[in-house]
Amino acid sequence: MGEDITILSQLPLSERGFPNAQRAPTSSQANLQQLCNHVFNHITTAKIMRVALRPPPINGYFPHRTDGTQFLYHYEPSHWWTSGFFPGTIWLLYERALCTDLSYSSDEILAQALKWQRGMEKEQYNKETHDLGFMILPAFYRHYKHFKSTTSKEIIINAGMSLASRWSEKVQCLRSWDTCLTKRFSFQDSNNDFLVIIDNMMNLELLYICAEMTGDDEFRRIATAHAHTTLQNHVRVDSSTYHLVNYNPETGEVKGRYTIQGYDDNSCWSRGQAWALYGYTTVYKYTKDKKFLKAANNCTRYFSNRR
């Protein structure tokens, strides 16, 4: 009697009789795996710790970016907007060390995290910037979460109060910059101009965390009102975003919309769009207001469709 011969290679994977058979990874999956392998590589630990163990060229300065030719870090003072990122990076490495063996122990990494964050403490009283979330949360909030540090909690709350000091009831926003000077325009009088950039969405979480820590809902009110005003005036109908909106500080009316780092005033700066989609996701996380979820989804869709 003749036998039916089945050629497995001509069957779909799901019908080949191998219960564990899986499809070959797509290019995007392969890229993700490659990225994960790179991020979790021990070389990454060595790179971070090598910088952490090396004293900065100037006391109180923090790694900002590398030189493209010599691969050396340029350092910036603590009031620079990215200075909180490196202490936060060491804290992320500490969290990884709690989960897996690294070339440095968790105690060794923790010592560096605590050392580097001390240089950021004074920024809790900085009332001249909107970037306090960037400066404070990456390190001090993790210190608080892991060890319930009352010192870090106090620093976070003080930073939230400093950020809230930039609030305008008339504009219903937090002031981003006091002044702005470019080759195209000059805003040098804070009594006439109230400058708000889309980047500010990234720092609202500091206020929500302060509301949770203190029970003072004023922090939450300010953050949510800022998000609402920004949704009205920074986000276009197609869910792209303006970089800078200038308000009349007395009336709250929009005086003009501009870009600083984008291509054109009416274009969409890609990093600013990322600030918006992340910022509105965060606001939804704390408010559960679906208009902010919708804004996050729409901003994300605009971003994803223009890769």
Predicted pLDDT of residue 1: 39
Strand partners, 93: none
> Is residue 197 helix, strand or coil?
strand
Instruction: Report whether pLDDT(14) > 70.
Output: no
User: Can you tell me the distance from the alpha carbon of 245 to that of 138, in angstroms, rounded to the nearest whole number?
Assistant: 27
Q: Give the E-state strand segments of the chain in sequence order.
A: 61-66, 73-77, 167-168, 173-174, 180-181, 186-187, 194-197, 244-247, 254-258
Confidence band of 233 (pLDDT split at 50, 70, 90)? very high
Instruction: Report whether pLDDT(114) > 90.
Output: yes
List, in order, residues 6 or more apart from 57 with CB less than 8 Å away.
75
> Is residue 1 helix, strand or coil?
coil
Q: Which of 251, 245, 250 is nearest to 226 (CA)?
A: 245
Instruction: Report whether pLDDT(20) > 70.
Output: no
Whole-number average pLDDT of the chain: 91
Architecture of domain 167-307: Alpha/alpha barrel (1.50)
Instruction: Report whether pLDDT(5) > 60.
Output: no
Predicted pLDDT of residue 42: 84
Spell out the domain ranges in the chain: 38-165, 167-307
User: Can you tell me the distance from the alpha carbon of 68 to that of 61, in angstroms, rounded to the nearest whole number?
Assistant: 20
- Check residues 65 and 282 and name the one with the higher pLDDT: 282
158 is written with which tokens? Answer: 């003080």
Predicted pLDDT of residue 305: 93
Catalytic residues: 131, 199
**pLDDT, tens digit, for every residue of 159-207?**
999 999 999 999 999 999 999 999 999 999 999 999 999 999 999 999 9
